[in-house]
């Protein structure tokens, strides 16, 4: 079963409670939370204080995507705020191994994300230590961008690699530009989790959209 992670970056920030209620009504598997520091990416979004507030609204898994230059400095505050999984960018850190250990010591799941131009070789040494890989299918920083087609090959390469190393417990999560029109290609390439922002929250009926994505299956 494909997992759906609505990205609340595209939701109405003046009413995040309703956005989370919609995700729960649609039986979303994760709530994807985009954290941007206006340094690693040219945008500034959600911090631990917001996560702490919305933690009381939903019990759904909080999938925190850190697009920040210094993720280590934020781990404790997001752990206290109620994150369930933290994903950092491989391009932002010198010592990924110790960061992985630190996230695990906080009893959180760990993910590593890579930008479209970053090759898989950068993360292969860590695949057996993490819970998910977040493949960016847009340049990180904004919702509503177009899906980068070359991401499909990268997803499939990683899928083959995980099978070869018997690491298929590691989730392949794909993020950026996913819509109902291209989602099946992403699933067939090997994705386990689809992050969807504008494809859900910019639609008149977000709950129905989540259901439509969940109904998509490997063809
Ligand atoms: C972009 C974020 C994505 C984004 C997805 O940097 O990491 O999670 O919100 O939104 P859509 O689905 O609209 O591309
Ligand atoms: Zn994201």
Average pLDDT on 148-177 reads 98
Spacing, Cα 149 to ligand 1 middle (Å) = 15
DSSP notation for 153-208: HHHHHHHHHHHHTT-TTSEEEEESS--TTTHHHHHHHT-SEEEESHHHHTSS-HHH
pLDDT at residue 219 tops 60: no
Q: 175 CA to middle of ligand 1, Å?
A: 6
Residue of minimum CA distance from atom 12 in ligand 1: 197
Is residue 151 within 8 A of residue 178, CB to CB? The reply is no
Distance between Cα 139 and ligand 1 center (Å): 9
Task: Look up 175 and say whether it is catalytic.
Answer: yes
pLDDT of residue 1: 84
Instruction: Check pLDDT > 70 for residue 11.
Output: yes
Mean pLDDT of 32-60: 98
Residues within a 6 A CB radius of ligand 1: 7, 9-10, 32, 34, 65, 138, 140-141, 143-145, 175-178, 195-199
pTM of the model: 0.98
Query: In this predicted model, what pLDDT tens digit does every residue of 182-217 receive, in sequence order?
Result: 999 999 999 999 999 999 999 999 999 999 999 986
Residue 148 pLDDT > 60: yes
The pLDDT score that the predictor gives to residue 20 is 98
Among the bound ligands, the one closest to the CA of 64? 2
CB atoms within 10 A of CB 60: 17
Q: Is residue 65 a contact partner of residue 175, using CB atoms and an 8 Å limit? A: yes
pLDDT band at 46 (very low <50, low <70, confident <90, very high): very high
Question: Is residue 29 annotated as part of the catalytic site, yes or no?
Answer: no
Q: In this model, does residue 68 exceed pLDDT 60?
A: yes
Length of the chain: 219
């Amino acid at each position: 079963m494909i997992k759906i992670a609505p990205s609340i970056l595209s939701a109405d920030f003046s009413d995040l409670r309703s956005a989370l209620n919609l995700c729960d009504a649609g039986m979303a598997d994760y709530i994807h939370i985009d954290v941007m520091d206006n340094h690693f990416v040219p945008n500034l979004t959600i911090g631990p204080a917001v996560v702490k507030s919305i933690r009381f609204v939903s019990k759904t898994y909080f999938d925190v995507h850190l697009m920040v230059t210094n993720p280590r400095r934020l781990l404790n505050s997001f752990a206290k705020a109620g994150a369930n999984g933290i994903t950092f960018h491989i391009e932002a850190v010198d010592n990924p191994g110790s960061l992985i250990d630190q996230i695990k010591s906080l009893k959180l799941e760990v993910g590593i994300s890579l930008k479209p131009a970053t090759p898989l070789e950068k993360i292969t040494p860590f695949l057996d230590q993490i819970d998910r890989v977040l493949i960016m299918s847009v340049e990180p920083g904004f919702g509503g961008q177009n899906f980068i087609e070359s991401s499909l090959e990268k997803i499939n390469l990683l899928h083959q690699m995980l099978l070869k190393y018997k690491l298929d417990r590691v989730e392949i999560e794909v993020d950026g530009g996913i819509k109902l029109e291209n989602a099946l290609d992403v699933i067939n390439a090997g994705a386990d989790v689809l992050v969807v922002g504008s494809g859900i929250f910019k639609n008149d009926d977000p709950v129905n959209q989540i259901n439509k994505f969940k109904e998509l299956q490997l063809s």
